[in-house]
Amino acid sequence: DAKTTQPPSMDCAEGRAANLPCNHSTISGNEYVYWYRQIHSQGPQYIIHGLKNNETNEMASLIITEDRKSSTLILPHATLRDTAVYYCIVRVPSNFGNEKLTFGTGTRLTIIP
Amino acid sequence: ETGVTQSPTHLIKTRGQQVTLRCSSQSGHNTVSWYQQALGQGPQFIFQYYREEENGRGNFPPRFSGLQFPNYSSELNVNALELDDSALYLCASSSPEGTAVGEQFFGPGTRLTVL
């Protein structure tokens, strides 16, 4: 799995959009970008994933650059409950087990009231 | 739909002892993965079980072993506990067949402290 680089911490004001960057310059053509988050004392939670097109779901939007070497997770209207560690992971999804996730140290996002 | 559950929530052991952690996968999921998360670090992959067989292993010694049962629940066993084994142990379930998402559903974890 390709290596990712994320800033160790970020702050965002409540109600504003939180933009979390991730660099994955060695990503290969068949690797997807996944985002998970981990709220304190809980297990990680899946947020969103994408290959090369921008994606949006009820939780967030994922913007992937055209060269796929970086991406940004956007939480459009951050709330205090979005305070968590956010992990960017790149991997090839498997349809036959071997679903190993390689976590880095992530970005600790703090939402400021 | 019941999510992933783990037991116990907290556990204290002494060096050299053995421990068994348990995980019940989400309904319909036949794959269980175990992760170790040390304080301040991201989770590290230990191993995965798919249909009762080990299906991938991370960089952990053989004293970390596991089982998966016919109902797809799983156990993680750690022998000869060391102080560095103190961590949050996470279980995640998924269902590779029929989905291309590769999403894993994590339980709340078991906090193991080795004294």
In this predicted structure, what is the pLDDT of residue B45? Answer: 93
Average pLDDT on B30-42 reads 93
pLDDT surpassing 60 at residue B100: no
User: What's the farthest any 2 CA atoms get from each other in chain A?
Assistant: 44
Give the mean pLDDT of chain A.
Answer: 92
* B100 three-class SS: coil
CB-based contact, B56 to chain A, within 8 Å = yes
Residue A59 has pLDDT above 90, yes or no: yes
- Both structure tokens of B111: 């906090």
**Interface test mutation site (partner A, options B7, B30, B55, B111, max chain A beta carbons within 10 A):** B55
**Quick check: helix, strand or coil at residue A104?**
coil
Please tell me which residue, B13 or B95, carries the higher pLDDT value: B13
- Asked if the model's pLDDT at residue B74 lies above 70, the reply is yes
B60: contact with A, CB 8 A cutoff: no
Q: How many whole angstroms separate alpha carbon B26 and alpha carbon B13?
A: 28
Give the angle subtended at the CA of B33 by the CAs of B3 and B111, to the nearest 5°.
75
* Residue B3 Cα, gap to closest chain A Cα (Å): 12
Q: How far is A17 from chain B (nearest CA, A)?
A: 25
State the nearest Cα–Cα gap between A108 and chain B, in angstroms. 10
Half-sphere exposure of A53 (CA within 13 A, CB side): 2
Q: Is the pLDDT of residue B99 over 70?
A: no
pLDDT computed for residue B103 by the predictor? 81
Q: What residue type is assigned to position B74 of the chain?
A: S
Output the pLDDT for position B55: 86
- Residues B102, A94 contacting (CB under 8 angstroms): yes
Of A1-5, A64-68, B77-81, the poorest mean pLDDT is in: A1-5
CB pairs under 8 A between A and B: 79
For residue B98, is pLDDT > 60?
A: no
pLDDT for residue B33 is more than 80: yes
CB of B52 closer than 8 Å to CB of B70 = yes
Please give the structure tokens belonging to residue A32.
Answer: 């997807």
